């Protein structure tokens, strides 16, 4: 088997359609577009139940200490944006179409599939730190982890600001 580096998801999908590659990794909305073109999905990573660190909001401890109010306001805005995307389908589809450079009408089915799979099914209303995912990431680093680095996932996160927003009722109030 020969593995080719052909670029990001859009370029990989184009290479698949052009017959330059026999298979590739795609995520919504291109995964559903590929299936509609007759390609078979071999694995859907989100349905395997594998805990793995994928994304997050990252800021240094120094910034949290020196600009805690600013970071808290950012998280409030983030939660408000998640609420808008989860509750306003047309807005969400418009944002996806714009940033994925897709046609809102022509690619409607793929965008709707993405809205369902990513926004409704995967996006958390209130994001939380997944300590098991961090533990998995630390395990994967193995011997490449810096000398003296902690093996405790809690040493790498500070969920206090999000917990404050939850305890204050801010997060819950968004969806009333």
Cβ distance 53 to 136 under 8 Å?
yes
SS3 label, residue 79: helix
Q: What are the average pLDDT values for consecutive 10-residue runs of the chain, which has 176 residues?
A: 89 93 90 89 84 80 96 96 96 92 90 92 88 90 89 92 95 91
Q: What is the pLDDT of residues 7-57, one digit of tens each?
A: 988 899 999 999 999 999 988 888 888 888 899 999 888 788 888 776 778
Q: Does the predicted TM-score (pTM) go above 0.75?
A: yes
Burial category of 37 from C-beta neighbours within 10 Å (exposed 0-12, middle 13-18, buried 19 and up): exposed
Q: Could you give the CA distance from residue 142 to residue 149 in angstroms, rounded to a whole number? A: 11
- The pLDDT value recorded for residue 21 is 95
Three-state SS annotation for 89-138: HHHHHHHHHHHCCCCCCCCHHHHHHHHHHHHHCCCCCCCCCCHHHHHHHH
Q: What is the DSSP letter of 47?
A: G
Cβ distance 30 to 110 under 8 Å?
yes
């Amino acid at each position: 088997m020969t593995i080719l580096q052909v670029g990001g998801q859009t370029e990989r999908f184009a290479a698949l359609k052009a017959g330059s590659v026999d298979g590739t990794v795609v995520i919504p909305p291109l995964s559903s577009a590929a299936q509609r073109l007759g390609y078979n999905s071999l694995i859907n990573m989100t349905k395997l139940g594998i805990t793995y660190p994928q994304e997050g909001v990252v800021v240094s401890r120094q910034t949290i200490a020196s600009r805690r109010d600013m970071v808290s306001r950012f998280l409030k805005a983030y939660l408000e944006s998640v609420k808008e995307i989860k509750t306003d389908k047309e807005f969400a589809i418009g944002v996806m179409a714009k940033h994925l450079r897709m046609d809102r009408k022509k690619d409607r089915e793929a965008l709707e599939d993405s809205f369902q799979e990513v926004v409704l099914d995967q996006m958390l209303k209130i994001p939380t730190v997944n300590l098991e995912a961090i533990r998995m990431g630390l395990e994967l680093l193995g011997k490449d982890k810096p000398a003296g680095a902690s093996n405790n996932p809690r040493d790498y996160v500070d969920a206090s600001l999000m917990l404050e927003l939850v305890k204050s009722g801010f997060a819950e109030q968004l969806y009333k």
